[in-house]
Amino acid sequence: MFTNILIVLPIFALILTGWIARKTGALGPNATREVNRLVVYLALPAVLFDIVANAKLADIWEPGFTLAFAGGCFIIFGATLWWRVSSGHALADAAIDGLNTSYANTGFVGFPLVLSLVGDKGMAPTLVATLVTVCALFATAITLIEAGLQTETRRRDIVRKTLFSLAKNPLLIAPVLGALVMLSGSHLPGPVHVFLKLLGGAASPCALIALGLFLAGTTSRTGSPAASTVGVFVLLKLIGQPLMTWLIAAFLLKLPSETTHIAVLLAALPTGTGSFMLAEFYDREAALTGRIVLVSTVLSIATISLYLAIAGT
């Protein structure tokens, strides 16, 4: 458990930094939106392009692991989406809710956690999980959000506007361009690689600071979301997703125990800031999403430690 605490401690520190900056007036009420836009338009696209462009097909070709982890993600995402839409929520809100229950924080928590528990042999599966999360799952959610925000009654107009919006979205353009570089077999020049690392390095801290800024002003602006709603989402993320991943990996695909262990461990990670970033960017239920990110991160210390104890790690 102490290892888990040390890994997530910087997350809390960055959220607290944003919260203090807002409460003390160091950053004003518009800072949340502007910091978040920095992440959406600059920092995160740099991360996505860099990850995909520098990936090696030999490292990411793990079909069993990919199917198990992606299956757990998309089953929980789809179930949440169906539940929220059938409950009367808008498609855009339901898509963000789906991310709340399936978007694992593989980047900020996954790499250091797997490295400390599994070692270097766990880095390739973690990269695959990151690609599934920040590319495939993210792209699906953005597509549904854009489709849900269109108001035209003609289906052809909805499709046209959705595709046009997606074609301009830097979070989708960046990994596509990165994939072209990867498939071409070329290498990025040194200065370009350094530039991407410097710019992309701002993504996680800025997203967490933006979350702290938002939480500092949530009570006065919108009130707190229902604890029961937050609890259900956190339960789906911390228990439902790893359980589904384990069922797919161990019983359906019968993967080796070590591969299954890494897949379940990554699925058990707390909700990443990507869902909050989209909720704030599209002006949806950011208060609910922010609480889920915070609560799931806190509780994941206990749930991951419990899983490690059960797994005998």
pLDDT of residue 104 exceeding 80, the answer is yes
Looking up tokens 């489709």, which residue turns up?
Answer: 147
The structural domains of the chain, with segments of one domain joined by +, span: 2-40+64-168+193-311
Across 26-43, average pLDDT: 87
In this prediction, residue 203 has a pLDDT band, given cuts at 50, 70 and 90, of confident
Across 194-223, average pLDDT: 79
- Tell which residue, 226, 242, 279, 264, has the closest CA to residue 98: 279
pLDDT at 221: 47
- Tell which residue, 302, 299, 275, 303, has the closest CA to residue 289: 275
Q: Residue 186 — φ and ψ, nearest 5°?
A: -85, 165
pLDDT of residue 222 exceeding 60, the answer is no
- Tell which residue, 62, 35, 48, 73, has the closest CA to residue 236: 73
Pick from 12-16, 167-171, 187-191, 261-265 the range whose average pLDDT is largest.
261-265
Q: Which of 96-105, 117-126, 166-175 has the lowest mean pLDDT?
A: 166-175
Across 59-74, average pLDDT: 91
Residue 126 corresponds to which tokens in the numbers above? 């973690």
In this prediction, residue 239 has a pLDDT band, given cuts at 50, 70 and 90, of very high
Q: What is the pLDDT of residues 284-297, one digit of tens each?
A: 888 889 889 889 98
CATH topology assigned to domain 2-40+64-168+193-311: Na+/H+ antiporter like fold (1.20.1530)
Average pLDDT for the chain: 85
